[in-house]
Amino acid sequence: MFMSQFHATTIFAIRHQGKGAMAGDGQVTFGNAVVMKHTARKIRRLFHGKVLAGFAGAVADAFTLFEMFEGKLEEYNGNLQRAAVELAKEWRSDKVLRRLEAMLIVMDDTHLLLISGTGEVIEPDDGILAIGSGGNYALAAGRALKAYAGEHLTAKQIAEAALKVAGDICVYTNDCIIVEEL
């Protein structure tokens, strides 16, 4: 439902076999026609390396959200769920922040959450989330891999493979993939 709102990236995250992994591509697109960068890092480690956060959307907006989310993590001593809810509330209620065009996926060693500017904080039932223009492709690939090859693949392997599938299909997603694990 949210996956096709924002262009120029794909972020995929999975909790699998007690581990977490998040993958993102490196493409930055200017408008709809020009690739400006191939190796951007859209995933960050936050709160002493214990939290992963990935963004889809406008880059400047995402940096603002990373900083705000990191502040909330510090304020709530690393409580991911509380920090996510507080960020979503502030994001939705502030007139300036409401205009930010980005989404975040955040995860720690136990939780995986989607945070949106409309106030949603969603934890998936199946331990998989994807956002961005290639999000639906990565989500479908990740779900298939987890269901049919999950016992033979790690979370990191599934995340990387899901991004490769998205990169083969989505023109806003490239094959410069960065994967972070928890």
Supply the residues annotated as catalytic: 9
CB distance 149 to 155 below 8 Å: no
Question: Kindly report the CA angle at 106 between 178 and 159, in degrees rounded to 5?
Answer: 35
Residues 8, 56: Cα–Cα separation, whole Å: 8
Residues 105, 66: Cα–Cα separation, whole Å: 11
Instruction: Name 172's Cβ contacts closer than 8 Å, sequence gap at least 6.
Output: 7, 8, 9, 10, 27, 29, 132, 133, 134
Give me the phi and psi of 21, to 5 degrees please: -145, 145
